[in-house]
Amino acid sequence: MKKWMMAIGLGAMLTLGACGGGDEGNTSSDGDSDSNTASVDAEAVFAQNCAACHGQNLEGMSGPALTDVGSRLSADDIENIIRNGQGGMPANVIQDDEEITAVAAWLAEKK
């Protein structure tokens, strides 16, 4: 039963990951691309790419709870895990560098 639930969780994560945002970026009225990480809505990126496993409220589901992840890991540590995976988490669940940095910083604030 546990393997079956993990398979469903992984399938949901892959499906949600495939629906992730494109590389449209933010463009100002003068046509310049906005590369400021502050312009990334980290909570929305988390909801779209991570909540299927970690829970909408960071409470944990098939992935661990992240409610206090910032008390255990730095933003750099979290960013490394998002990029390279760890345990049952695959690498590159989020593919955009700015989004990875923003989500890692947002999660690091959770203490």
Q: Which two tokens stand for residue 76?
A: 């750099």
Judge whether 107 and 69 are in contact, CB under 8 Å: yes
In a domain, 32, yes or no: no
Give one DSSP letter per residue of 26-66, joined into a string: EE-TTS-EE--GGGS-HHHHHHHHTHHHH-TTS--SSSPP-
Structural domain span for residue 86:
2-18+41-108
* Residue 85 CB neighbours (<10 A): 13
In a domain, 72, yes or no: yes
Q: How many domains does the chain have?
A: 1
**CATH number of residue 12's parent domain:** 1.10.760.10
Q: Which two tokens stand for residue 49?
A: 């790419």
For the segment 78-96, the average pLDDT, to the nearest whole number, is 95
| Residue range 13-71, pLDDT digits in tens | 655 555 554 444 444 444 444 444 569 999 999 999 999 999 999 999 999 999 999 99
